[in-house]
Copies of this chain bind each other. A is one copy, B any other.
Amino acid sequence: MSQSFETATALTPAEGGFTATLDAGWDVGGGVLNGGYLLSVVARAAVESSPHEHPVALSASYLRAAAAGPAQLSVTPGPGGRTLQHATVVLSDSGGPAVSVQATTATLVPGDSSYSVPPPAATPVEDCSSIAEHAHVAPPGVQVPGLSQRVETRLDPVTAGWALGEPSGEPVIRAWLRFADGREPDPLGLVAFADALPPTSWATGRFGWAPTVQLQVLVRALPAPGWCLVEARASEIAGGWLDEDYRIWDSTGRLVAQSRQLARAPR
């Protein structure tokens, strides 16, 4: 049975923070847990330690891969006030610290943007292909990442040529995302979406794991219900390094989150 996102990010108060049980189902292959999932557990710890409701800025250093199972979250509150609250949160497993995060929480309120960058033209979701459906017909021995069972991912065929053996050469991947468990998007969920696509280097025909070194996620607005449109784009691939720049729009076309990460590039 698939755990819900709510259960997979559940926290129990403990001395100096919380404990959690990391869900092995949020893997990206090879037993490695997705960085966005780990950061959403951290974000929940930051919010539950704050007078404010939402994670608005998170910057995470991924120190080493965290193992599924028991984890500890230590929260050190920083300065705060009426507008925002700073904290540092460290997620550790039995091997020690795995993710170290600067977290800023605040309370996002409904209201219009005075400026919002419009979404890119994208293929309608009903004409996009599901990663999980492709995974179901994967040849024996090919591992299906759990992530694609937790987050429904419909790839825009315009940026999915690599999946058909025809990489575009441009490091851009676009997809519609929603939780498989029926949860509507919310600020915590957007944190999980902010690292949920395959590496954009795949679109240049270079497959392989691109481990995240540092990831910043900004949550900009309360998302409307429905599918989110996510576009990931690399700007520079060189010297063994790759960036991934995510922009996430809600079903009304409003920009609701942004992320940028530095990762090691697949060889």
Contacts and interface: CB of A to CB of B under 8 A. Distances in A.
A262 B255 CA distance: 14
A1 interface: no
Contact of A100 (B102, B171, B204, B238): B102
Interface in A218-264: 218, 220-221, 234-241, 243, 245, 247, 254-255, 258, 260, 262, 264
26 contacts: A56-B262, A61-B102, A63-B86, A64-B79, A78-B97, A78-B100, A100-B102, A101-B102, A104-B214, A111-B238, A113-B238, A115-B171, A115-B234, A116-B235, A116-B238, A117-B235, A216-B216, A216-B260, A218-B262, A220-B235, A220-B241, A220-B243, A221-B236, A235-B255, A236-B255, A236-B258
Name the residue among A97, A113, A241, A264 with the largest chain B CB count within 10 angstroms: A241
Interface of A: 56-57, 59-61, 63-64, 78-79, 83-84, 86, 88, 97, 100-102, 104, 106, 108-109, 111-117, 171, 204, 213-214, 216, 218, 220-221, 234-241, 243, 245, 247, 254-255, 258, 260, 262, 264
B260 A218 contact: yes
A241 B56 CA distance: 10
Nearest to A218: B262
A57 B220 contact: no
A190 to B, nearest CB: 13
